[in-house]
């Protein structure tokens, strides 16, 4: 990243993390600056990849979906890039994170409430991951707190 992140960037990010729909005008008023400056800083944060995405946190249960987290530990020597390539276009796989520690890979699946169908999806995804040493399956039942920054 060529440009340094400064105090105004952090304040913009904190406000957007609470409400990503704040307009340039609203942000400018809260932070006592101009829309132009807000727009310029946000463009930069997006270009630099500091802001990866503006998104919605939905209640999956209300939408008829189940949210499953797979914590994958692969055997030593397995190339994580190969694993990621094998699963990244799967439409049921929503989040993929490389990791260190208990798990090497964290995979989020959003699927239907039908348990038979969900089992098929989880089995399908696991089959695509070669060299699994350990697989932790966690079904999220409720998001009690969700903050970003």
CB of 120 to its own copies, least distance (A): 17
Between 56 and 116, name the residue whose CB sits nearer to its own copies.
Answer: 56
137 interacts with its own copies by CB under 8 A: yes
Region of 27-35, 96-104, 113-121, 124-132 interacting with its own copies (CB under 8 A): 96-104
- For residues 61 and 140, give the distance between their C-alpha atoms in angstroms, rounded to a whole number: 10
Residues 128 and 107: beta-carbon distance below 8 Å:
no
Binding residue (CB under 8 A) for its own copies from 75, 88, 120, 127: 88
- For residues 119 and 87, give the distance between their C-alpha atoms in angstroms, rounded to a whole number: 16
Residues 112 and 65: beta-carbon distance below 8 Å:
yes
Residue 59 CA: distances (Å) to CA of 9, 27, 78, 123, 146: 29, 27, 35, 24, 12
7 interacts with its own copies by CB under 8 A: no
102 interacts with its own copies by CB under 8 A: yes
142 interacts with its own copies by CB under 8 A: yes
11 interacts with its own copies by CB under 8 A: no
Between 30 and 140, name the residue whose CB sits nearer to its own copies.
Answer: 140
Name the burial class of residue 96, with classes exposed (0-12), middle (13-18) and buried (19+) by CB atoms within 10 angstroms of its CB: middle
Which residues of this protein are in contact with its own copies, per CB under 8 A? 1, 5, 10, 13, 16-21, 48-59, 62-63, 69, 71, 84, 88, 93-103, 106, 110, 136-149
């Amino acid at each position: 990243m060529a440009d340094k992140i400064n105090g105004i960037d952090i304040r913009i990010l904190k406000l957007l993390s609470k409400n990503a729909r704040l307009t340039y005008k609203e942000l400018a008023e809260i932070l006592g600056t101009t829309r132009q400056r807000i727009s310029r800083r946000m463009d930069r944060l997006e270009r630099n990849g500091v802001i990866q995405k503006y998104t919605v946190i939905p209640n999956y249960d209300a939408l008829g979906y189940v949210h499953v987290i797979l914590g994958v530990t692969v055997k030593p020597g397995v190339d994580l890039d190969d694993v990621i390539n094998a699963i990244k276009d799967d439409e049921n796989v929503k989040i993929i994170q490389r990791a260190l520690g208990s798990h090497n890979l964290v995979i989020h699946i959003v699927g239907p409430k039908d348990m038979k169908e969900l089992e098929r999806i989880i089995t399908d995804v696991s089959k695509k991951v070669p060299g699994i040493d350990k697989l932790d399956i966690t079904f999220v039942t409720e998001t009690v707190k969700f903050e970003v920054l």
